[in-house]
Chain A
Amino acid sequence: MNRYALFLGCTTPTQVIQYELSSRWVCRQLGIELVDNEDFVCCGINQVNLSQEAGLLLAAMNLAFAEEKGLDILTLCAACTGHLAESVERLKNQETRDRVNNKLKKIGLKYKGNAKVKHISKVLYEDIGVDRIKERIKVDLSNLRVAPHYGCHYLKPESAYAGFDDPDNPKTLHQLISAAGAFAVQYETLNLCCGGKSFPVSREVAFYLVQKKLDNLMAQEIDCMVVHCQTCYLMYSDQQKVINEQFKKKYNIPVLLYPQLLGMALGGDPKSDLGLDLNTVSSNNLLAKAGIKRKI
């Protein structure tokens, strides 16, 4: 039985709820049970900027909440995944763990080191597997050419992921897109960061990086981009619109969350199951090309 504590993070359940919606739907279809936990709070990654200790304490608290329920964590956000997984590694040091537990004691918690952290794509890849996903496909997406975007924290720090994928030459998202029946392209700026973590401090950095990738993708024959992190989604989709307005650009690349693409292939309703109507760039052309009659 694949049973996980669902870690929503901050941004998905407030800004990109279509990611949450489609993830829950896809997991239901594939027999992954997601257990909600009201105690989860921010993973702590952004607190690291000002206090590494605060970032580690918040991560340890969330991990301890999952441990209390005897569950591993399934994450949607790449950055939450990276920070929680890196914290698990850091908390293997006994001195660090004792120091953290001394503080957790004051809120009635103890970190024991039992909970694993897995991103939803890793769960789909490892627990379900591409072959079993292929068996479940109902809608043919072979007309679609898709540009994957992995997200830095899905792959790095490598020390937190024990050889799951190769940060310099990643393959798992390509394979998952292929499993959904679409064609995953290779492109020059594949490994380029979305700039999301610099966005609150420097839009200049973030916009430059977003445009560099979008420029590269506009020159490719692709139907959409697929991401599996809501921050990457916001940067390439919502900010695509902002950049179009602000810099008079004409980017027009639909950006889907991976569970939305897989959900299309599994026969999900574009609106009520997958929330495609909530995406900033319309997916209507995409749906038509895939032979899905329902418009959004």
Chain B
Amino acid sequence: MKQAESNRGTIRVAKLDPSFKFEVLKHEETQGLNACFACGTCTAGCPVHEIFPEYSPRKLAKMVKLGMRKEVLSNPYIWYCVTCHNCEQRCPQNVKFFNILNVLKNMAAKKGYAPASWVKQTQQVKKTGLIFPLDEALAKKRESLSLPVLKSEGTKAKKLIQLAGLDKIKAEKHS
């Protein structure tokens, strides 16, 4: 994993970007970040950390505070979160790391790091309103079980996706 290496070694103060933290803190959901005293309860309870020690909520929170913009946003592990909410559930300081991570992922997506799978899902929602396509086999299967016909329509969802600027997000090239 290419990114893991750049997370190690000396942190060069001259390369830090102090504006990064304030940019993250602009979002209402991230306010708790200032209360983080790096106890690591989040990381201790994180199932992803168990498999990939490179992924650590505590470390990411610290990296945001230090201003390690590029290292955080290009970190491939930020996309591995299983959304179990253990980090915020167990945080003694009531930091909503799950929300902070979402802000970071949104920023990373704008910088071109979005995984292709999530971009593809959004494109599907714009078509059918659901993350899956609907085909004739499914329609027949549902009919055989007397389940109602699924309407396949994404016009309004598409409009909202456009209004949120989500349709401008492109997938990371190699992903």
Spell out A's residues near B (CB within 8 Å). 10-11, 13-15, 17, 20-21, 24, 36, 38-42, 45-54, 57-58, 61, 79, 93, 96, 103-104, 106-107, 152-153, 156-158, 167-168, 192-193, 195-198, 200-202, 204-206, 208-209, 272, 275
Chain B neighbourhood of A14, CB < 8 A? 130, 132, 134, 138, 150
Report the separation of the CA atoms of residues A21 and B102 in the bound assembly, to the nearest whole angstrom: 34
Interface residues of B in 127-175 (CB under 8 A from A): 129-132, 134, 138, 141-142, 145, 147-148, 150-151, 153-154, 156-157, 159-161, 163-166, 169
Q: For residue A97, give the distance in angstroms from its CB to the closest CB of chain B.
A: 13
Which residues on the B side are within 8 Å of A201 (C-beta)? 79-80, 115, 117-118
How many B residues have CB within 8 A of the partner chain? 58
Verify if B52 is at the interface (C-beta below 8 Å from A).
Answer: yes
Q: Is the C-beta of B82 less than 8 angstroms from some C-beta in chain A?
A: yes
A167 contacts B89, C-beta separation under 8 Å? yes
Query: Judging by beta carbons under 8 Å apart, are B161 and A47 in contact?
Result: yes
Inter-chain contacts of A54 with B (CB < 8 A) = 122, 160-161, 164-166
| 13 A-B residue pairs with CB within 8 Å | A11-B131, A13-B147, A17-B141, A36-B148, A47-B125, A49-B118, A50-B122, A57-B164, A58-B161, A158-B89, A202-B80, A205-B52, A209-B82
Contact A41 B154 (CB under 8 A): yes
Whether B41 sits at the interface, judged by CB under 8 Å, is: no
| Chain B neighbourhood of A53, CB < 8 A | 164-166
Residues of A near B151 (CB, < 8 A) are 38-39
Q: Which residues of B contact A208 (CB under 8 A)?
A: 50-51
Closest to B145 in A: A21
Contact of B121 among A46, A103, A156, A275 (CB under 8 A): A46
Q: How far is the CB of B47 from chain A (nearest CB, A)?
A: 5
Contact partners of A152 in chain B: CB under 8 A = 82-85
Min CB–CB distance B102 → chain A (angstroms): 5
In the complex, chain B residues 56-115 whose Cβ is within 8 Å of any chain A Cβ: 79-86, 88-89, 96, 98, 102-103, 105-106, 109, 114-115
Residues of B within 8 A of A47 (CB): 121-122, 125, 161, 166
With a cutoff of 8 Å between Cβ atoms, the chain B residues found around residue A103 in the complex are: 160, 163-164
Selected contact of B169 from candidates A51, A156, A192, A205, CB within 8 Å = A51
